[in-house]
Amino acid sequence: MSILGVSLTGVGIATVLRKVRATQARALANDVFRGVKDRTPVATGVAKRGWAMNKRGKGYTIYNNVPYIGVLDKGRHMTSRGMRGSVQAPKGMTKPTLASLKKRR
């Protein structure tokens, strides 16, 4: 019997499920990574190039160490110092990415 192209002959179902779960986790992490990177505004390209993804244990960590990434991800907003954020990404990057992934379900 074959499920998702994986043969079950001589292999426990738990092993197959672990492989499927790992594949789904990697696919989701890649989708989030591409989404935030594609939505990152570009002036110099530093923030866009700052995105990285690492496998940690059974999961993935997506991060950006650019000091101003929080301002960009917050989106266009007013502060006591005036407007902050990017016109290119008025809603930030993370929230729109996650919202688009939820709609795909």
Q: Indicate the pLDDT class of residue 51, thresholds 50, 70 and 90.
A: very high
Percent of the chain whose predicted confidence (pLDDT) is above 70: 89
Q: Which of 8-12, 16-20, 40-44, 72-76 has the lowest mean pLDDT?
A: 8-12
CA proximity to 88, closest of 32, 33, 48, 28:
48
CA distances from 51 to 9, 11, 37, 39, 42 (A): 41, 38, 7, 11, 13
- What pLDDT was estimated at residue 95? 94
Please name the residue that has the structure tokens 């390209």: 45
- Confidence (pLDDT) at 2: 44
